[in-house]
Amino acid sequence: MKDATEQTAAAWATVSDDTETVPTPLPHGDLPTPVAAVMCALDAAVHAWDIATATGQPSPLDDELAGHLLAAAQGTVEPLRQWGAYAPVVEAAGGHSSTPVADDLLRYLGRTPR
């Protein structure tokens, strides 16, 4: 994990404010820099949730962060579902949640909030 974090930080350190696009490993290749940055943040946040959930730790995903990521995800995720990058949306089961926006994000990305 440390190596991946350091490699990601080093790659983003080469991106300046006027960099228009950055290469990605996604099927459509280069993305506009703001879109790639959001996708990177989305990936990190959701996989942090995956790890926390799998190891019985509290979720690091709060509604404020999730709200920003959900708005971005709704504009970028759908084309990636066809390549299997995201599972289908999970329908809400009902009940009360202390983090309803985070739960909406997780369901949108094909995960079942806990």
CA distance 101 to 99: 6
pLDDT tens, position by position, 34-53: 988 988 899 999 999 999 99
Q: What is the pLDDT of residue 102?
A: 95
Helix axes 33-54, 63-76, angle to 10 degrees: 120
pLDDT at 83 over 90: no
Using DSSP, state whether 100 is helix, strand or coil.
helix
pLDDT at 82 over 90: no
* Exposed/middle/buried for residue 20 (C-beta within 10 Å: 0-12, 13-18, 19+): exposed
In a domain, 40, yes or no: yes
The domain containing residue 102 runs over which residues? Answer: 21-108
pLDDT band at residue 9, thresholds of 50, 70 and 90? confident
In a domain, 113, yes or no: no
Q: What is the mean pLDDT of the chain?
A: 89
* Domain count within the chain: 1
Mean local confidence (pLDDT), 19-36: 88
Q: What is the pLDDT of residue 79?
A: 83
In a domain, 11, yes or no: no
In a domain, 39, yes or no: yes
In a domain, 25, yes or no: yes
